[in-house]
């Protein structure tokens, strides 16, 4: 999808082609009516320029945008920076003023000297400006004027950074290609290393590494955590069906989210007790794998029968902070911390979602190896989620509630990128839950205590195991069982 600036530019070019084409026809008619050869030449040039351009634009809009519209827009942005720079600097009080003699020697003129524009370049949907402050100025003065440049350039947003003691970098984001939502498609291929979740601000695909990573996604209510959750689980669906991945879902908000695509999951948990069973089982799997790997390999490679185990927790705070059952919360926190600290190498990964990073979850933040910040409520939350110094370059607290699924990720090279997850409507989630059933099902089996026995450990009445889905379920995870005979996998 293209942003409004791009759409405007495309419209403008379309009009030019149409005009060239019509003028060409008019010149041709003039030539037929007996005018000179010059009219024939004009007609040829105009029709020759207008017609192929119009056909290219109509027939191959993607390549036309890439090769014609974007380069023209970027050229125009660069020129505009050169144009507005002296004026904005003067208005912002950044230029120095001198009176010099006029060239003709008659009288004097005022000369304004702005900070030096060292480099102006444009790529993607932004313009990068590198400027050097004048003697006696501080970089902070230039950084404080950044919103004025953004307004003068009609930019959507501006990011700043001090590159050297006297050098400042400004990135003006000129149009918003992520404004229009895109609906996700049914995944076609087994993807394991990187899962494609949506688009980056420059229009390229946004993909995220999953293997060797524990992922934390933070976003206020309604920020679109569901689309990241289903982007990852849906993206893993072909691998799950092929037996390369097992998904375990913990959804303590009544199972509303994970229940939509329950078929994808090997096990789902909706109470703290069920979640504890899943956590104990995965810690057991992890410990056994680690013991097997010792001295043999350092990183587990997923294979059928030796799958990657992915624990998906919707609303992490419900598990480690909100529950009033303190002993259970303490155990869950401990088990989760073990998975987060040792699960990466043996292929037992955690993918957690949370609304509020200020609660106890923040204690665990350091154990996650990658973080996605969707819309947050304050600059302080951005700092908590993405780290110090990120509020300017990844202003997740400024994301509009009208663009759910939009957020910031910090790449391996340390730069922050704005992204938007594709939207997963309920029907699509149900569809993949149905079409990509987990080959192994291990429902949590509650052991009903004998009358008069101690607490059955459940916060809701014991229930009979869920009916296994096809293919036939393996033995379930027992709420009284801490370990399994094998990896915890199907026997
Ligand atoms: N990527 C997206 N593109 C467009 N719309 C989206 C996207 N993701 C979510 N939405 C819309 O935003 C609404 C809220 O999304 P979602 O339920 O995923 O938020 P959430 O962060 O999980 O909220 P909560 O924490 O309250 O459950 C959805 O009903 C959907 O209509």
Name the residue of 179, 218, 222, 231 to mutate for ligand 1: max ligand atoms within 8 A of Cβ.
Answer: 222
C-alpha 281/C-alpha 288 separation (Å) is: 11
Query: Would you state the pLDDT for residue 487?
Result: 47
Residues 205-235 have pLDDT tens digits of 899 999 899 999 999 999 999 999 999 999 9
Share the mean pLDDT of the chain.
Answer: 83
Q: Give pLDDT tens digits for 366-410.
A: 899 999 999 999 999 999 999 888 898 899 999 999 999 999 999
Average pLDDT over residues 21-48: 66
Q: Are 418 and 247 in contact (CB under 8 A)?
A: no
Is residue 223 a known part of a binding site?
yes
Q: What one-character-per-residue DSSP string does 237-299 give?
A: HHHHHTTSEEEEEEETTTTTTGGGGGGG-SEEE-SHHHHHHHHHHHHHHHHHHHHHHTTT-SS
Does position 456 have pLDDT exceeding 90, yes or no?
no
79 among annotated binding-site residues: no
Greatest CA span in the chain, whole angstroms?
111
Find the helix or strand (DSSP H, E) in which 22 lies. helix 4-32
Dist CA 30 CA 36 (whole Å) = 9
Label residue 458 by pLDDT band (50, 70, 90). very low
Q: What residue has token string 């922050």? A: 416
Percentage of the chain beyond pLDDT 70 is 79
The mean pLDDT of 301-313, rounded to a whole number, is: 93
Q: Please state the rounded mean pLDDT for residues 185-201.
A: 88
Q: How far is the CA of 368 from the centre of ligand 1 (A)?
A: 23
pLDDT band at 32 (very low <50, low <70, confident <90, very high): low
Task: Name the least confident of 3-17, 52-66, 274-288.
Answer: 3-17
- Give the per-residue pLDDT at 296: 85
- pLDDT (average), residues 37-54: 68
Secondary element (H or E) of residue 417: strand 416-421
Among the residue ranges 2-6, 54-58, 172-176, 374-378, the one predicted with the least confidence is 2-6
Residue 331 has pLDDT above 60, yes or no: yes
222 known ligand binder: yes
Calculate how far, in angstroms, residue 426's C-alpha sits from the geometric centre of ligand 1.
11
Pocket test for ligand 1, best of 224, 257, 385, 421 (most atoms within 8 A of CB): 224
pLDDT band at residue 57, thresholds of 50, 70 and 90? confident
Pocket test for ligand 1, best of 226, 233, 322 (most atoms within 8 A of CB): 226
pLDDT tens-digit series, residues 152-174: 999 988 888 899 999 999 999 88
**According to the annotation, is 452 in a ligand binding site?**
no
Task: Give which of 87, 207, 66 is closest to 151, Cα–Cα.
Answer: 87
Residue of higher predicted confidence among 77 and 37: 77
Q: How far is CA 34 from CA 25, 29, 97, 164, 460, in A?
A: 15, 9, 62, 68, 94
What is the percentage of the chain residues whose pLDDT exceeds 90? 50
340 prior amide bond cis, ω within 30:
no
Q: Which residues line ligand 1 (CB under 6 A)?
A: 181, 219, 221-227, 355, 404-405, 421-423
Residue 469 has a pLDDT of 40
Per-residue model confidence (pLDDT) at position 2 = 41
CA-to-CA dists, residue 158 to 77, 253, 410, angstroms: 14, 38, 17
Question: Does the pLDDT value for residue 3 go beyond 60?
Answer: no
DSSP state of 468: P
What's the rounded Cα separation, in Å, for the pair 275 and 268? Answer: 8
| Residue ranges of domains in the chain | 194-435
Across 41-55, 76-90, 289-303, 408-422, least confident range:
41-55
Q: Compute the distance from residue 15 Cα to the ligand 1 centre, in Å.
A: 39
Residue closest to 442 by CA, chosen among 285, 319, 302: 285
Predicted pLDDT at 448: 54
**Residue 482 scores a pLDDT above 50:** no
- Residue 37 CA, ligand 1 centroid: distance in Å: 64
Helix, coil or strand: residue 382: helix
3-state secondary structure of 485: coil
Band of pLDDT at residue 355, cut at 50, 70 and 90: very high
User: Whose CA is closest to atom 8 on ligand 1?
Assistant: 224
Residue 338 contacts residue 286 (beta carbons within 8 Å): yes
More confident residue, 306 or 29: 306
pLDDT for 341: 94
pLDDT at 486: 40
What confidence score (pLDDT) does residue 201 get? Answer: 82
**Angle value at C-alpha 271, between 320 and 436, nearest 5 degrees:** 105
The reply, when asked if residue 225 is annotated as ligand binding, is yes
Query: Which ligand 1 atom sits closest to the C-alpha of 226?
Result: 18
Q: How far is CA 217 from CA 140, 370, 407, 456, in A?
A: 32, 9, 10, 33
Query: How far apart, in whole angstroms, are the C-alpha atoms of residue 100 and residue 339?
Result: 71
- Residues 133 and 166 sit within 8 Å (Cβ to Cβ): yes
Which has the closest alpha carbon to 158: 172, 148, 176? 172
Q: 35 or 167, which is more confident?
A: 167
Nearest atom, ligand 1, residue 405 CA: 1
Q: What gap in Å lies between CA 217 and CA 197, rounded to an integer? A: 13
- Each as own residue / partner, the long-range contacts of residues 14-18 (CB below 8 Å, 24 or more positions apart, any chain) are 14/54, 14/57, 16/50, 16/53, 17/49, 17/50, 17/51, 17/53, 17/54, 17/57, 18/50, 18/54
The reported pLDDT for the residue numbered 91 is 92
pLDDT at 26: 66
pLDDT higher than 80, residue 61: no
* pLDDT band at residue 42 under the 50/70/90 scheme: low
Q: What pLDDT band is residue 251 in, cutting at 50, 70 and 90?
A: very high
**pLDDT for the residue numbered 359:** 66
The predicted model gives 58-71 an average pLDDT of 76
| Overall average pLDDT of the 100-125 stretch | 86
Rounded to two decimals, the pTM is 0.68
Residue 184: pLDDT over 80:
yes
Quick one: 194-435 is in which CATH superfamily? P-loop containing nucleotide triphosphate hydrolases (3.40.50.300)
Query: Is the pLDDT score of 484 beyond 60?
Result: no
Band of pLDDT at residue 106, cut at 50, 70 and 90: confident
Is residue 43 predicted with pLDDT exceeding 80?
no
């Amino acid at each position: 999808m293209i942003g409004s600036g791009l759409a405007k530019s495309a419209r403008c070019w379309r009009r030019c082609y149409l005009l060239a084409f019509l003028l060409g026809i008019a010149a041709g008619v003039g030539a037929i009516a007996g005018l000179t050869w010059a009219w024939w030449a004009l007609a040829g040039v105009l029709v020759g320029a207008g017609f192929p351009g119009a056909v290219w634009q109509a027939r191959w809009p993607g390549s036309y945008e890439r090769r014609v519209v974007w380069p023209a827009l970027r050229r125009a942005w660069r020129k505009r920076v050169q144009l507005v720079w002296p004026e904005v600097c003067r208005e912002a009080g950044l230029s120095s003023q001198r009176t010099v003699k006029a060239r003709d020697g008659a009288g004097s003129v005022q000369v304004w000297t702005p900070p030096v524009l060292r480099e102006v370049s444009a790529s993607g949907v932004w313009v990068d400006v590198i400027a050097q402050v004048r003697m006696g100025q501080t970089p902070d003065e230039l950084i404080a004027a950044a919103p004025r440049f953004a307004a003068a350039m009609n930019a959507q947003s501006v990011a700043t950074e001090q590159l050297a003691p006297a050098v400042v970098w400004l990135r003006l984001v000129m149009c918003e290609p992520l404004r229009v939502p895109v609906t996700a498609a049914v995944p076609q291929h087994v993807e394991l290393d990187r899962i494609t979740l949506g688009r980056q601000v420059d229009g390229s695909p946004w993909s995220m590494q999953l293997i060797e990573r524990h992922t934390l996604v933070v976003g206020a209510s309604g920020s679109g955590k569901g689309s990241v959750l289903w982007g990852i689980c849906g993206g893993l669906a072909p691998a799950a069906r092929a037996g390369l991945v097992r998904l375990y879902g913990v959804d303590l908000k009544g199972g509303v989210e994970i229940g939509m695509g329950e078929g994808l999951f090997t096990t789902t948990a909706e109470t703290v007790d069920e979640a504890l069973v899943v956590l104990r089982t995965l810690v057991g799997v992890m410990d056994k794998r680690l013991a097997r790997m010792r001295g043999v390999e350092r990183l587990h490679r997923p294979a059928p029968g030796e799958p990657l185990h992915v624990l998906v927790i919707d609303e992490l705070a419900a598990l480690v902070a909100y529950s009033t059952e303190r002993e259970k919360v303490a155990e869950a926190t401990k088990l989760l911390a073990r998975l987060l600290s040792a699960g990466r190498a043996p292929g037992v990964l955690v993918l957690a979602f949370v609304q509020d990073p200020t609660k106890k979850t923040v204690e665990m933040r350091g154990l996650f190896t990658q973080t996605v910040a969707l819309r947050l409520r304050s600059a302080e939350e951005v700092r908590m989620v993405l780290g110090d110094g990120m509020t300017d370059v990844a202003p997740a607290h400024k994301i509009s509630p009208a663009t759910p699924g939009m957020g910031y990720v910090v790449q391996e090279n340390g730069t922050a990128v704005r992204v938007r997850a594709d939207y997963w409507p309920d029907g699509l989630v149900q569809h993949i839950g149905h079409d990509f059933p987990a080959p192994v099902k291990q429902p949590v089996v509650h052991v009903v205590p004998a009358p008069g026995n101690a607490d059955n450990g459940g916060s809701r009445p014991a229930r009979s195991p869920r009916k296994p889905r096809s293919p036939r379920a393996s033995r379930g995870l027992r709420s009284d069982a801490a370990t399994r005979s094998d990896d915890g996998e199907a026997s």
